[in-house]
């Protein structure tokens, strides 16, 4: 091809690409950035580049508002928007569901493991007391434990204490309190047991069976229309709520709710989805924050919801007293005037009189609401809003629960009120009070006036990690030799681990939580929970089982003691007719809970090991990476099992090359092993060691393996029915006589 032909072809392709890019764009100086539309650029604090603050004029704000209105009108046309889903009576609840709590089903306020019962009343009473309660709840029974074995998300749902029948009663209890219930779906869970039914069908069926109200789409950028079709098709319409907004804004038409992970600037941005559809409910979420001023102010400014997420995968991140009290007051106002917050005539970023104060106006037929935030870290008093004079209008400072009288200036009404540092305000203009008392207003004023007697500044902003405590493991009788009272087979022998000093170094492998305080465990010598642990310990001599407890050994215990747990769901699930399958005698026993393992150990005159004892027995004193040395040896462990159904573990003596410094066998790569348990006021979790042979494929969100001796797993506990697993076994220890 000649040079001039190449040039013409290049020009043609350039024009074609230009036409493609411009045809898919809209002309606007204020394009949305995913879930957010930036505030007017004229409103900014001083910075290093300009060293000068700027404020907006009324004309600049009007031009910005006109532009984003034009963008909205055109964009709705482009996506062929149909808002009929928002008019459906069975989904109207989403429009006033301002405060949604994601909670772990493992939360001890929700389930009392000692009494073996759900405690919905206790759970809700705590939230009522701390921040005024919730409108909807998202119980979470799956991640981060999902993938420890081949049970899929629906299996774990069925394994919850009491199963489907009890979850139906739980939903009924929430409904009695006026709280709607959503459950999650994990489309990424395609490496465990195949449910045999598409996710949208299986999820819709289960949630219809228990009477739940909605589905949260974990990691989804919009929930596909098949979820809408599936739940409608079985006659139980479910609200759809994706986690990550929408891959296409067309999904806004049938996803009535969404979450918002936002970037926070000094001037609050606008919710793209709320702007496009004022009835859409966004729950703004900043789950790892220790200070929620940014997300709470953004929610109030936008008239949207808030995700009050404190139990994050078993890591407790409680809101500070100040944030909790701010949430109580925000929610009180939003619930009282939720109909105004649905107004399609919403005007964000109306002109205010003070720098750093931002307001949204919500226009109604007879009343108008302003939601106001002070982004300054200092108080602002005096002139705040300048409004056109309106005969017969009355003004109420809802935040403080009082009526205010405007100052008249040249045909305008100047509203004066106080805003705390990083504070909030709400003004109601109404003509209703001129004709007849408004019960909603009177009730709200009374509530807010009482709350306002104590300013937010008087509540603590200090965040404190929730302390954990180790569950005691009582010592055994000190033994001079391995137990003679229990008949010994070669696989039942114990090894004496000598007394010694040991540098105990280990870290958690949780996927989330990063290096925040409160992640992982708090050892007895540590001031708080953290991911990385290191200390020098003096280890007393102890005896440890050479191999994990086998099926044959556990059968002796069951038959001798007639042991049968009160909660027997999944107990020895892979046994038939009270015995293990043929050829499984020397495989490690699994499908035993931590309680089951402790019962066996007591019968045998032993106990479960502390984690540091387990690691010392595996690692010795040279800091080796694996029990056998510093390099991974695939012949020292079972071949990884990566199918959708977990296969049986290997015999405990099948891999002699896996022996440790002291000759302890089968410590890594066959089955996880129970060690210590830690608990706090909200969650209990076990330290599991050694990893297993099962590695489900297809997602990074499955329970990660911990084959290195410097790593451990954190396994959240609820009740034996769901705690038992195909990949968790145990071995025992006994204390030794000191020479």
Place of tokens 């109420």: 396
pLDDT digits (tens, 9 = 90+) for 132-165: 999 999 999 999 999 999 999 999 999 999 999 9
pLDDT tens column, 313-367: 999 999 999 999 999 999 999 999 999 999 999 999 999 999 999 999 999 999 9
428 phi and psi angles, rounded to 5 deg: -115, 125
* pLDDT computed for residue 54 by the predictor: 85
Rama region for 274: left / alpha / beta (φ>0; ψ in -120 to 50; rest) = alpha
pLDDT at 6 over 80: no
pLDDT the model gives residue 14 = 42
Coil vs helix vs strand at 522: coil
Q: Given this model, what pLDDT does residue 49 score?
A: 79
pLDDT score of 72 more than 60: yes
Q: How far apart are CA 700 and CA 201, in angstroms?
A: 24
Residue 678 has pLDDT above 50, yes or no: yes
**Lookup: tokens for 258:** 């969404």
- Residue 307, phi then psi, degrees to nearest 5: -90, 105
DSSP string over 237-284:
--EEEESS--SSGGGGGT--EEEE-----SSPPEEHHHHH-TTPEEEE
pLDDT in tens, 476-486: 998 887 765 44
- Mean of pLDDT over the chain: 94
Q: What is the pLDDT of residue 283?
A: 98
Q: How confident is the model at residue 473 (pLDDT cuts 50, 70, 90)?
A: very high
396: phi then psi, degrees, rounded to nearest 5: -130, 130
Task: Evaluate whether 123 touches 311 at the Cβ level (below 8 Å).
Answer: no
510 neighbors 144 (Cβ within 8 angstroms): yes
Q: Mind giving me the DSSP string for 597-665?
A: HHHHHHHTT-BPPPHHHHHHHHHTTTT-SBTTBSS--GGGSPPPB-SSSPPPPPPTTS-GGG--TT---
Closest CA to 554 of 564, 546, 544: 564
* Radius of gyration in angstroms for the set of CA atoms belonging to the chain, rounded to a whole number: 30
Pairing relationship of beta strands 311-312 and 394-397 according to DSSP bridges: unpaired
Left, alpha or beta for 684 (phi > 0: left; psi -120 to 50: alpha)?
beta
Q: Give tens-digit pLDDT for 165-198.
A: 999 999 999 999 999 999 999 999 999 999 999 9
The C-alpha angle 112, 118, 119, rounded to 5 degrees, equals: 80
How many residues in the chain?
Answer: 739
Task: Domains for the chain: give ranges and CATH numbers.
Answer: 85-260 (3.20.20.80), 473-735 (3.90.1580.10)
β-bridge partners, 409: 412
Element (DSSP H or E) covering residue 414 = strand 412-416
Q: What are 728's strand-pairing partners?
A: 672
How far is residue 127's CA from residue 566's CA, in Å, rounded to a whole number?
A: 31
The predicted model gives 307-315 an average pLDDT of: 97
Q: How confident is the model at residue 80 (pLDDT cuts 50, 70, 90)?
A: very high
pLDDT value for 484: 53
Tokens of 508: 């958690």
Structure token pair of residue 691:
């990893």
pLDDT tens digits for range 210-262: 999 999 999 999 999 999 999 999 999 999 999 999 999 999 999 999 999 99
How confident is the model over 593-640, as pLDDT tens digits?
Answer: 999 999 999 999 999 999 999 999 999 999 999 999 999 999 999 999
Half-sphere exposure of 41 (CA within 13 A, CB side): 3
The residues that bridge with 138 in the sheet, in sequence order, are 102
Determine the Cα–Cα distance for residues 212 and 358; give it in Å rounded to an integer.
38
H or E, element range at 501: strand 500-508
Binned at pLDDT 50, 70 and 90, residue 5 comes out as very low
Residues 441-462, mean pLDDT to the nearest whole number: 97
- Answer whether residue 7 shows pLDDT above 60: no
Q: C-alpha angle with apex 389: 384 to 390, nearest 5 degrees?
A: 120
């Amino acid at each position: 091809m000649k040079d001039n032909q190449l040039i013409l072809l290049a020009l043609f392709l350039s024009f074609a690409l230009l036409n493609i890019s411009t045809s898919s764009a809209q002309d606007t100086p204020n394009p949305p950035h995913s879930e957010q539309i930036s505030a007017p650029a004229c409103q900014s604090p001083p910075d290093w580049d300009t060293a000068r603050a700027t404020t907006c004029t009324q004309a600049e704000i009007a031009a910005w508002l006109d532009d984003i209105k034009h963008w909205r009108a055109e964009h709705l046309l482009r996506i062929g928007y149909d808002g009929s889903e928002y008019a459906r009576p069975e989904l109207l609840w989403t429009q006033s569901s301002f405060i949604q709590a994601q909670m772990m089903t493992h939360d001890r306020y929700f389930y009392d493991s000692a009494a073996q019962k759900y405690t919905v009343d206790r759970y809700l009473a705590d939230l009522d007391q701390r921040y005024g309660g919730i409108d909807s709840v998202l119980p979470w029974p799956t991640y981060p434990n999902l993938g420890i074995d081949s049970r899929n998300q629906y299996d774990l749902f069925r394994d919850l204490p009491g199963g489907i029948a009890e979850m139906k009663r739980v939903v009924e209890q929430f409904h009695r309190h006026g709280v709607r219930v959503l459950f999650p779906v994990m489309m990424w869970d395609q490496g465990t047991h195949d449910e045999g039914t598409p996710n949208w069908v299986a999820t819709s069926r289960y949630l219809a069976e228990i009477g739940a109200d909605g589905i949260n789409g974990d990691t989804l950028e919009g929930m596909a229309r098949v979820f809408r079709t599936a739940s409608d098709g079985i006659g139980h319409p479910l609200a759809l709520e994706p986690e990550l907004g929408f891959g296409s804004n067309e999904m806004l038409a049938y996803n009535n709710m969404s979450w918002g992970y936002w970037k926070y600037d000094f001037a609050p941005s606008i919710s793209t989805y709320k702007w496009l559809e004022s009835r859409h409910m966004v729950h703004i979420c900043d789950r790892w924050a220790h200070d929620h001023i940014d997300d709470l102010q953004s929610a109030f400014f936008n008239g949207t919801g808030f995700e009050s997420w404190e139990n994050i995968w078993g890591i407790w991140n409680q809101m500070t007293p100040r944030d909790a009290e701010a949430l109580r007051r925000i929610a009180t106002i939003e619930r009282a005037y939720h109909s105004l917050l649905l107004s399609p005539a919403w005007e964000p970023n109306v002109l205010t009189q003070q720098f750093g104060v931002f307001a949204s106006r919500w226009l109604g037929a007879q009343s108008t609401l302003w939601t106001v935030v002070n982004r300054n870290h200092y108080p602002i008093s005096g002139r705040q809003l300048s409004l056109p004079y309106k005969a017969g209008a009355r003004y109420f400072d809802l935040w403080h629960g009082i009526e205010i009288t405007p100052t008249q200036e040249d045909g305008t009404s100047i509203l004066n009120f106080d805003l705390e540092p990083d504070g909030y305000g709400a003004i109601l203009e109404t003509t209703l009070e001129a004709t007849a008392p408004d019960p909603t207003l009177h009730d709200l004023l009374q509530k807010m006036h009482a709350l306002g007697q104590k300013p937010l500044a008087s509540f603590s902003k200090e965040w404190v990690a929730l302390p954990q405590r180790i569950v005691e493991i009582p010592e055994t009788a000190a033994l001079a030799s391995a137990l003679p009272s229990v008949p010994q087979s070669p696989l039942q022998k114990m090894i004496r681990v000598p007394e010694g000093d040991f540098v105990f170094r280990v870290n958690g492998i949780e996927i989330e939580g990063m290096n925040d305080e409160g992640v992982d465990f708090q050892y007895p010598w540590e001031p708080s929970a953290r991911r990385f642990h290191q200390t020098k310990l003096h280890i007393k001599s102890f005896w440890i089982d050479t191999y994990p407890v086998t099926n044959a050994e556990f059968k002796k215990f069951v038959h001798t003691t007639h042991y049968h747990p009160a909660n027997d769901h999944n107990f020895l699930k892979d046994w038939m007719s009270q015995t293990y399958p043929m050829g499984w005698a020397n495989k490690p026993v699994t499908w035993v809970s931590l309680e089951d393992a402790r019962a066996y150990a007591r019968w045998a005159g032993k106990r479960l090991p502390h984690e540091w004892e387990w690691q010392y027995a595996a690692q010795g004193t040279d800091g080796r990476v694996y029990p056998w040395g510093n390099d991974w040896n695939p012949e020292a462990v079972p071949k990884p099992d990566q199918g959708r159904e977990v296969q049986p573990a290997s015999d405990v003596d099948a891999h002699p090359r896996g022996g440790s410094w002291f000759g302890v066998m089968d410590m890594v790569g066959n089955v996880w092993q129970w060690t210590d348990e830690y608990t706090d006021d909200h969650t209990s979790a076990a330290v599991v060691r050694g990893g297993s042979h099962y590695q489900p494929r297809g997602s990074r969100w499955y329970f990660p393996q911990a084959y290195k001796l410097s790593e451990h797993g954190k396994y959240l506990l609820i009740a034996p029915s769901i705690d038992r697993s195909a990949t968790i076994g145990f071995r025992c220890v006994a204390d030794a006589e000191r020479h």
